[in-house]
Amino acid sequence: MREKLLYILGAVAGVLLVRNLWVILFVLPDEASQGAVYRIMYYHVPSWFTCFAAFFGAGLASVLYLVKKDPRYDAAAVASTEVGVAFCVIGLVTGSIWARPVWGVWWVWDPRLTWALITCLVYAGYLMLRRAIEDPGERGKNAAVVSIFSFTSVIITYKAIDWWRTQHPGPVISIRTGGGNIDPAMEQMLYVNWLPMLMLAFVMAAVRMRQEMMGRELDAMRRYAHAL
């Protein structure tokens, strides 16, 4: 039953992404100053929303693991982190593609972009740390602590455009500015396209968590066999 629900959720997410792509390309108008290239915003911004949500989920699961010592929370943390890193890379790549025609360069070392890259590297380091520790208990404990502290980098990335002057545009969506900086139809599409991305991320994390739990069972069987 659970697998069927994941299949359905994934299928719905796919249909919504295709439908949204049609609206983005053929229904929404060009932006006044950027023209058609601004449309990458509908994938760039929601990918960061999804990335931050996944990292928040990983941090929450890590806290629960430290409190309850339940390996399912550790599996949820690593699954959420992997999905978060994937969407973080999407955010970095789409941002670079967008920057090239607008700024004339692929990349600038301003605070928002730099901390976004640092965030990606920090969570990639979390995944590397997990592979470096063989004992499941020690791995889960150390990884949980790293995950919790790593979320600081997410906060800095999110607030960088408020704390420093950056080449990256300042806040434009109404929940950050109180409204007026972006056309309501354009802003609405950001959230409409975020929904299927979030659904897809949930499916990916659920599948990856199941694989992680199965891998732990196999590892436990190998350890038991070697002990005989």
* Token couple for 87: 């969407």
Query: Residues 102-116: pLDDT tens digits?
Result: 899 999 998 999 999
Torsion sign (Cα): 25, 31, 36, 41: negative
Q: What is the pTM of this model?
A: 0.92
How long is the chain?
228
Are 156 and 112 a contacting pair, CB within 8 Å? no
The model's confidence at residue 119, banded by pLDDT at 50, 70 and 90, is very high
Orientation angle between helical segments 71-103 and 184-227, nearest 10 degrees: 140
Query: Residues 48-106: pLDDT tens digits?
Result: 999 999 999 999 999 999 999 999 999 999 999 999 999 999 999 999 999 999 899 99
- Select from 196, 191, 145, 151 the least CA-distant residue to 57: 151
> Taking the chain, what is the end-to-end CA distance rounded to the nearest angstrom?
37
d(CA 42, CA 190): 5
